[in-house]
Amino acid sequence: MRPELKIPLPRRAIADVLDYLCMAGVRQHIYYLWRPTLPDPSDDLVLEVAVHGGCDRIVTFNGHDFVGSERFGVHVETPSEFLKSLGVKS
């Protein structure tokens, strides 16, 4: 919803996607067993949730912040790459 990202979708569409993610998401307990792994401790939180949640990817504009996540089996891709992998964008 950040205006500086200039996402070419109506705010209502973005809100619908965020609402769906909140509804479909599963709460994960974090145990802080292997930090620090990434340069930014905030990014470690995201990576740890992804690993414990069994996610195979993190979708972000800041992929360079997650270098090293692949050793946990988590691939990092941009939103555009993610949409292409779903066949939504060519």
Tell me whether residue 29 is in a domain. yes
Q: What average pLDDT score do residues 29-51 get? A: 84
Examine the pLDDT at 31 and tell me if it is beyond 90.
no
Tell me: pLDDT of 56 over 80: yes
**Domain contains 12:** yes
Give rounded-to-5 percent helix, strand, coil for the chain: 50, 5, 45
Q: Does 90 map to a domain?
A: no
- pTM (2 d.p.): 0.69
The whole-number pLDDT of residue 90 equals 67
The residue type of 86 is L
Residue 74 located in a structural domain: yes
The Cα–Cα gap between 81 and 89 comes to 9
pLDDT value of position 32: 67
Residue range of the domain that includes 68: 3-85
58-78 per-position pLDDT tens digit: 999 999 999 989 999 999 999
**Number of structural domains, the chain?**
1
**Tell me, what's the pLDDT at 4?**
85
Element (H, E) at 76: strand 75-77
User: Domain for residue 62, yes or no?
Assistant: yes
